[in-house]
Structure 1
């Protein structure tokens, strides 16, 4: 009866039910698992953030600068530039060494020619020198013979033919008159050279360079003096005059020809190394030399075996 008298129990609200629920303690294994998951989430989030940064950072980079491992393209390009610079530096060092060797060889050549100049006219003829033929006219050996060189202003010997082309301002029936100007003397010597009177031409050119050392035609006079000696096979004397043109008048019109003739003269006296060095210097010193000079250099290099 009493139970029937008791009022009905009020319904329980949800939060009251949750409060009345029994909370079971977690097992140790579950605790370990939860801690491991929490620790693993930290580096994953950091890596994800870094990946996002890399993605957006690479997204706004110019094309060609995105590489694996975030290595910029400039590194590869810089390596390529450094390699090319090293190669150019090696080539420059090699060229510098070749130029220094050529300069040293030219200095040796000048010293050898100075020594040869000291022996000119004093040393006896070499044993291997070609003997003179008795049937060939030699103006230097036959001073009184017709056609032999004579001092300027001297008359021809009695009965000898007179070369009217060598006279300058001679009066009819009178003797030859000496040249009165540098031009007349130069023309006189050059005329003898054209007539293949090399001894007379050489003598006149030699007087010209002594009398007119500062004349504008002096470089040409030295060259033609050497040419007259070269054609008479006086190679040592010729080499001295060709060297004079090359060293003292390097900008003269005949300077490339003189350097070529210098190489030929050295080859003729057996100085092969010096001759080859001189012939090689023609193209280096005078790259705009005439085609005739360049062809002569190639021909002489083959002949000398350079």
Structure 2
């Protein structure tokens, strides 16, 4: 009986020992599995963080690109507006010059005595030295326009240059008027030649050379009936050259010195436009 009891106890102790041994051996493996699981979780979290950071960077880049596109769209709209203004100005210039030349052709002004004008567009830029060269051959100041009529040769040379102007060949016209002034500096047609020389440059938007021709007219032929028109065009050139203060002063000078003339009316109208632009 005692022997049987002892055997039973020993058997139970063996099972308990086996269970304990198995538990002891299982604990390191469980701990290792737990560590691996934590490492995986950390790795996944890092991957998620990196993905979120990449998404944030991409969103910022998209926002930057959207801002740049908006800025470019604004610049395009401004350029389109400026281009439209230039086209409108060119159309007005052509229309004005065409109407004045039309009046001349219909006998609205004596031959060699055309009227004033407003602005017209673009061809090659002739040299300012050409105007200076023509001016050097002209008298320093003419107190009044010469009274004697132009000779046949003078009239023919002047008419040839003016014909080119009417045809829209502004390069040939400017060359013709320059040659005329060099060859016939004392001609009674010289004031008009200076005016139309300036006009041929103005139409092609060569404002620095145009203003020089108009200023020569104003200074050298102060008694010419083209002076008011020439001074008006000096103001127009100053506007195109962004010389706003000088342009306003010149246009006011036109209205003060030549009241009641068409040039004065055009000067007043342009002054009003400048004031509206400044107010806006």
Query: TM-score surpassing 0.5?
Result: no
Query: Which structure has the higher relative contact order (CA within 8 Å, separation 6+)?
Result: 2
Query: Bigger radius of gyration, 1 or 2?
Result: 1
